[in-house]
Amino acid sequence: MKSELLRLNDANRRQFMLNTAKTVLGVTLLPGLSSKMAKAAGASGPGTPGFGKAKHVIYLWMGGGMTHIDTFDPKEGATKGFGDRIKAKAEGIDYLGGYLPKLAENASKLSLIRSMSSKTGVHEAGTYIMKTGYEPRGTIVHPAMGVWGSHFLGRIKDVTLPDSVVVNSGSAYPGAGFFPPAMSPIPISNPESGLQNIKPTTSDAQFSKRVSLMNEFDSGFRNFDLTLETAETRAKYGKNNFGQGCLLARRLVESGVRFVEVQMGGWDMHNTIDNAMTNNGNTLDTGFSALLLDLEAKGLLDSTMVVLGSEFGRTPDINENDGRDHYPLAYTTVLAGGGAKRGFAYGASDKEGRRPADKQTSPSDFLATIGHAMGLPVDEVVMSPSNRPFTVGDKGVPVIDIFA
CA pair distance 207, 315, nearest whole angstrom: 39
Query: In the prediction, which pLDDT does 34 show?
Result: 39
| 373 burial type by CB count under 10 A (0-12 exposed, 13-18 middle, 19+ buried) | buried
Q: How far apart are CA 328 and CA 122, in angstroms?
A: 9
What is residue 27's predicted lDDT score, i.e. its pLDDT?
A: 31
Report how far residue 216's alpha carbon sits from residue 257's, in angstroms, rounded to the nearest whole number: 15
Q: Give per-residue pLDDT as tens, 48-99.
A: 999 999 999 999 999 999 999 999 999 998 788 788 999 999 999 999 999 9
Domains of the chain: 53-377 (3.40.720.10)
Looking at residue 210, its pLDDT comes to 62
Specify the range with the lowest mean pLDDT, choosing from 28-37, 63-72, 203-212, 287-296.
28-37
CA distances from 20 to 25, 134, 206 (A): 8, 21, 31
- d(CA 242, CA 248) in angstroms, rounded, equals 10
Alpha helices in 298-394 (DSSP H): 363-374
DSSP-H helix ranges across 26-159:
33-41, 101-105, 123-132, 145-153
Higher pLDDT pick, 400 / 5: 400
pLDDT one-digit tens code per residue, 108-161: 999 999 999 999 999 999 999 999 999 998 889 999 999 999 999 998 876 667
Q: What is the DSSP letter of 240?
A: S
Instruction: Quickly state the pLDDT bin for 224 (edges 50, 70, 90).
Output: confident
Could you report the per-residue pLDDT of 173-195, keeping only the tens digit for each? 778 999 999 899 999 988 887 55
Measured in degrees and rounded to the nearest 5, phi and psi for residue 42 equal -80, -10
Looking at 191-200, 232-241, 262-271, which range is the least confident one? 191-200
Give the pTM: 0.85
Banded model confidence at residue 4, pLDDT cuts 50, 70, 90: very low
